[in-house]
Amino acid sequence: MTSEDRRRIAEGLAAGLTYAEIARRLGRSRSTVTREIARNGGPHGYRAARAQHATSWRARRRKRVPHAVVAPAANDLGVRTTREFAQQFVAMMIETGLTPMTARVFAALFLSESGSLTATELVQQLHVSPATISHAIKWLEQRGMVAREREARRMRYSVDADVWYHAWVASARAMAIWAETTRRGAGIFGTDTPAGDRLQTTSQFLELLGHDMAQAAEHWRQALSMQRRL
């Protein structure tokens, strides 16, 4: 990635372009652009000059301390490894559909020592406004991925080992709502019309999918319950 590439990434972010569009204009893959942004401050904190400087510093540091000659301290290795994984984790979530800020908030919670952080801690860690954190948390809560609880005058957000069960159940409920709505639509339009036929087919698919999702979630809940009793 050249300094000119980074300048164009910064300009693209400022113009509100998607990662895919920025990647297309640069002639690079979306995953490359996603990792570059996540590694250097995220969509709101990305600065071309700072990214270029950080990359040069990392390159010089690797050159000064070859791993084969001088092994880094165990703690230092752990810090750098977890940071790299966190960047990859965020990039993966963005690549699979989450917005950059929602991905960063979830990663901060999921990879924290206790699985929970206060709103203030998230603001300080991610260097964004409380409103930005609130917006991301709302999206995650609606999908069962984050829980909240009040501690005195502050709010604490958390994830736990059952996060994927809750998220899966929430998705199954969403499928049921879609199935019911499209079923009603098929009745209104008439299944002998193109729109009605599409609605009926959609309803049948989503009803089956929602049923299978609910069964899978219950199977996991029972398996996890048995595992915890052992």
Per residue in 63-106, pLDDT tens?
A: 543 433 333 333 444 546 788 888 889 999 998 889 999 999 99
pLDDT at position 229: 67
- Assess contact for 8 and 25: CB atoms under 8 A: yes
Residue 34 has pLDDT above 50, yes or no: yes
Helix extents (H) in 15-162: 19-26, 30-39, 42-45, 48-64, 74-95, 100-110, 119-126, 130-142
Residue 17 has pLDDT above 80, yes or no: yes
Kindly report the number of other CB atoms within 10 A of residue 154's CB atom. 10
- Assess contact for 187 and 181: CB atoms under 8 A: no
Token pair in block for residue 42: 């995220």
pLDDT at position 133: 94
Residue 32 has pLDDT above 60, yes or no: yes
Q: What global pTM score does this model have?
A: 0.59
pLDDT at position 79: 46
How many percent of the chain have pLDDT more than 70?
85
pLDDT at position 59: 62
Across the beta sheet with 116-118, the strand order is 116-118, 154-158, 147-151
Residue that wins the pLDDT comparison between 215 and 108 = 108
Question: Minimal CA–CA distance to 144: which of 161, 169, 119?
Answer: 169
Domain residue spans of the chain: 3-73, 100-158, 163-229
Per residue in 153-163, pLDDT tens?
A: 788 999 877 78
CATH number listed for the domain at residues 100-158: 1.10.10.10
Residue 22 has pLDDT above 70, yes or no: yes
Token pair in block for residue 223: 């398996």
Identify the bridge partners of residue 158 per DSSP, sorted by sequence position: 116, 147
Sequence-separated (6 or more) residues with CB below 8 Å from residue 16? none
Instruction: Name the least confident of 34-48, 73-87, 152-166, 214-228.
Output: 73-87
Q: In 3-state terms, what secondary structure has residue 158?
A: strand
